[in-house]
Structure 1
Amino acid sequence: MTRLFIALCTLIASPLAFADIFAPFRETDGSTNWQYVANFSSGVLIILLTLVVLILFVTWRRARRYNLALEEIRGHLEQRVRERTAKLEQEVSEHVVTTKMLKSSQSYIQNILSSMPLVLVGLDRQGVITQWNKRAEQISGISSDDAIGQNLWEIYSDITVAPRHIEQALEKGEAITLRHSQPGSYHFDITVYPLHNYSDPGVVILVDDVTKRVIAENMLIHHDKLSSMGELASTMASDINTPLQGILFDLRSFQGALESGKLLPPGTESSPESKHLHELLESASESGRKVESIIRNLLQFARGRSDKPQNANVVDVIEHALEQSRDVLAEPDTFPFTSVQIERHYQDNVPMVPCYVTELQQVFLSLFRHAYQALIEKSDAGFKPRIDIYVAENFDALSIRVEHNGVGLTADEQMHLFEPFMHSDGSIEQAKVGAAKRLSLAFFVITEQHQGHMAVTSDPDTGSAFHIQLDHE
């Protein structure tokens, strides 16, 4: 069979085979034995079919083996895909939860920053804004979208913080605190915090409006001061008044005896020594009367204070303060307050003002004392000391102005005029303007106790003017 197949293939492959394909099946006489042709063809077909079947069987076996391997591989892949899918689903679920938590935390933090009553500004090292909360928008009038990404000092130059403060906080790695205030208007505590463990160095600026707290603290302090001053004034006046009355009585008795001539030898009543003795006694009596007036003022201050405002005529309060000033203001070796020319410019029918009369009277007494000191400093030949007082109604408020032509205030003195005087004790810096030139108590009484306004305008050469405004409704 194999040989026949090989022969058949050889015949087919031979070019001559196509010339006479039936030559192997011819008889000697040249006729073709078709039976042999049929048998040969059948055998060849059977062989070919057998080979095809064998090839198909082998191919099937291989395909089956490959299919089994592929099924196994697919099973492993499906298992890995299921495991990976489950893991991805878990990771996605965790990522979704984490994302929600991050969004919730971010929204919570953002709401905290936006709801803070403090101004919060985030800056990088170059001064570019990275955070700008709602309070910052309200104070500056600049929206967050317009602020973030911009240089702070280019869009909001009014802020007190300077670039050197940013550098100082970053270099030291510590928070620095600044105080920015305008007495009677606002008080701000500014803190610059450096950011730690952050890839891009920067700072956070917190601006806390402590105006109400400072006002409340100042009111408490001044109320305590006024109460203590009232008690002290009453005690001092009572303690001083008894020996003073004894001294004045002895002076009057000695002066009467001296005038009667009983203490002097006859004929010496008009001697220079007698005249000098009379002058000394008169001066001592005058000083005693001034001390007596001061005691009356202290007693009036101690007894006249009230917890509720009372309607009063400011002109009467001013005139009473002037009367007290004439009694108590006098410096040795210079002119007394009575020599000062007082120019009054009062509007007719000035409305009544609800006020604390005793405290308001002390305010004007402090102003007249301040003006008197300035006039003394300028006393020279030909100088005519003068104080002008203006009182007029201005819309729904009463405007008061006290001017003098003495030595005015420098810019530094004006800056510290209404601030409390602090003595240096090693921890508190000595103030540049002394207590004699301070009007902190007067400023408190006007601005805090009476909810009014007080300001000063001054020139060292021409004098000063104190402006007060009180609501009368």
Structure 2
Amino acid sequence: MRFLLPTALLLLSPLTQASLLAPFRNEDGSTRWQYVANFSSGVLIILLTIVVITLFITWRRARRYNIELEEIRGHLEERVQDRTAKLEQEVSEHVITTQRLQASEAYIRNILSSMPLVLVGLDADGTITQWNRRAEERSGIAADEAIGQNLWSIYPDITVTPKHIEQSLERNESLTLRYSQPGSYHMDITVYPLEHTQTPGVVILVDDVTRQVIAENMLIHHDKLSSMGELATAMANDINPPLQAILFDLRNFQSLLESGRLQEGQNGQQAEVERVQQLLENASENGRQVESVIRNLLEFARGRSSKAHDANVVDILEHSVEQASDALSLPNAQPFRNMQIERHYEDSLPMAPCYITELQQVFLSLFRHTYQALVDKARRSDADFTPTIKLFVSECYDALSIRIQHNGTGLTSEEQMYLFEPYLHKGNEAKAAEDADKRLSFPYFVITEQHKGHMAVTSDPEIGTTFHIQLELH
């Protein structure tokens, strides 16, 4: 205070200082230190009182605030405890739900991976969303590489088209397809739309029914083969004696006509004689054809064996050509023997294990089918059409490749699909019943089941048809 007062006095003007300090000076101008001390003590007491009152008020407020904070803290702790208990319950429920979802997801994933069907999930744009293990095995494409890609960009060989997907989504119903590649596989394909999803999509199921179709074909062909030998022998033995008698009589009539003992020189008899001679020649020709068919049936019945033998396939093919030349002929049509045949045989072909008589019947059936197609094309074409049959035999790795090609009327895609099928399909009864004689189920069975080979057909309705046969050499 001693130092503060002079400092304060220095800041004041002389007149102000004189008026303020007057009470603290004597008349002689000396300082009244007692007054100064009393004044300073009073000021300090007042200031301390103010400070104490301020501190007391502050303490009271702080105490009140502390009480309120304690109450808030208590409420917060209760709420935190309640919330913590709820969170623990929710977490435990969430953990249980997650475990169930994971178990369900793993269960569904195992089902999808283990199912024997190809399963492909697609969205509306054709992007793959699901690709199971069977799809990986069938396509050779891993699921990680397939998911997220466009189906037709990574697997263009699939039979399902974008049009099928659009059709299923628009109609909101399942779409069933059947795809058959004779000699390779048979597939049942189902496309069905997904329901109750945020984004539209479909699931494609591809069921390989090749074994089922083969089993059905084997049952049918087994019955057919077991009765064919007996039927052929019975027919040949019943028809051959009267046929031989007819041929004998025809030869006698021809001898009489040639000798001129049928009044050939009389008026009006010449035209009749020529007409009778022409009829007899036609009957003789037809009789020789029937005789060839009967002889072929007898050879087939007697020559069947349960063991394959090494044989020259070219010789078997040429023998079948000779049989077709004798047996195949239609009224008002060029006979098979007059068809142009081009041979393309590779040199030094190896012997192939085969059932000779059954293989002859296969070639004869194909020639019969070929002849009918050439006759149909010739009847619908102009005079410039030349019926042509091309025969190809070559060695291809460990197999023998045989092709029979003609430029007659070809097959439609639907006809190719059912060409080798021996039974009617659901929804195709009327079409399958048509042209039943044009079916080639028996040759297909002989090649694929007996010889363990492959048989297929490629055709165009305007260009012609090619039959492909592959026989294993070992």
After TM superposition, the score normalised by the length of structure 2 is: 0.69
Q: Could you tell me which of 252, 255, 271 is aligned with 1:256? A: 252
Specify whether residues 231 and 74 from structure 1 end up closer, same or farther in structure 2 by C-alpha distance, changes over 3 A only: farther
Q: Is the 8 A contact 2:123 2:129 kept in 1?
A: yes
Specify whether residues 340 and 77 from structure 1 end up closer, same or farther in structure 2 by C-alpha distance, changes over 3 A only: closer
Specify whether residues 223 and 155 from structure 1 end up closer, same or farther in structure 2 by C-alpha distance, changes over 3 A only: same
Q: Is the 8 A contact 1:417 1:437 kept in 2?
A: no
Deviations 1:67-108 (A, max 9, x none): 9x9999999998887777566545433432332222122122
Q: Which residue of 1 aligns with 2:338?
A: 339
Out of 417-426 and 187-196, give the one that drifted further.
417-426
* CA displacement at 1:365 relative to structure 2: 0.6
* CA displacement at 1:366 relative to structure 2: 1.8
* CA displacement at 1:143 relative to structure 2: 4.0
SS in 1 for 2:431: coil
Q: Could you tell me which of 396, 399, 402 is aligned with 1:400? A: 402
Q: Which residue of 2 aligns with 1:50?
A: none
Deviations 1:404-427 (A, max 9, x none): 5x5353665884584448789985
1:350 and 2:346 equivalent?
Answer: no
1:245 and 2:241 equivalent?
Answer: yes
Deviations 1:182-208 (A, max 9, x none): 222233222122223334433222222
Q: Is the 8 A contact 1:418 1:443 kept in 2?
A: no
* CA displacement at 1:295 relative to structure 2: 1.8
Q: Is the 8 A contact 1:424 1:430 kept in 2?
A: no
CA distance in structure 1 between the aligned counterparts of 2:439 and 2:393, rounded to whole angstroms:
23
Deviations 1:383-405 (A, max 9, x none): 7765443433333222333345x
Q: Which residue of 2 aligns with 1:48?
A: none
Matches within 5 A, 1:8-19: none
Q: Which residue of 2 aligns with 1:450?
A: 451
Matches within 5 A, 1:60-99: 88-99=87-98
Matches within 5 A, 1:108-123: 108-123=107-122
Specify whether residues 196 and 298 from structure 1 end up closer, same or farther in structure 2 by C-alpha distance, changes over 3 A only: same
What are the ranges of 5 or more consecutive residues in structure 2 without an aligned counterpart? 1-22, 24-55
Q: Is the 8 A contact 2:422 2:439 kept in 1?
A: yes
* CA displacement at 1:245 relative to structure 2: 1.9
The AA in structure 1 aligned to 2:453 is G
Specify whether residues 247 and 266 from structure 1 end up closer, same or farther in structure 2 by C-alpha distance, changes over 3 A only: same
CA distance in structure 1 between the aligned counterparts of 2:462 and 2:160, rounded to whole angstroms:
35
Out of 416-425 and 307-316, give the one that drifted further.
416-425
What are the ranges of 5 or more consecutive residues in structure 1 without an aligned counterpart? 1-18, 20-54
* CA displacement at 1:288 relative to structure 2: 2.5
Q: Which residue of 1 aligns with 2:473?
A: 472
* CA displacement at 1:117 relative to structure 2: 3.1
SS in 1 for 2:205: strand
SS in 2 for 1:330: coil
Matches within 5 A, 1:225-236: 225-236=224-235
The AA in structure 1 aligned to 2:393 is V
CA distance in structure 2 between the aligned counterparts of 1:248 and 1:269, rounded to whole angstroms:
28
SS in 2 for 1:161: coil
SS in 1 for 2:408: coil
SS in 1 for 2:410: coil
The AA in structure 2 aligned to 1:409 is G
The count of aligned residue pairs is: 420
Q: Which residue of 2 aligns with 1:268?
A: 263
Q: Which residue of 2 aligns with 1:185?
A: 184
Q: Which residue of 2 aligns with 1:363?
A: 362
* CA displacement at 1:355 relative to structure 2: 1.8
Matches within 5 A, 1:20-59: none
After TM superposition, the score normalised by the length of structure 1 is: 0.69
Out of 433-442 and 363-372, give the one that drifted further.
433-442
Q: Is the 8 A contact 2:121 2:201 kept in 1?
A: yes
Deviations 1:212-234 (A, max 9, x none): 33333333333344445444434
* CA displacement at 1:362 relative to structure 2: 1.2
Q: Which residue of 2 aligns with 1:222?
A: 221
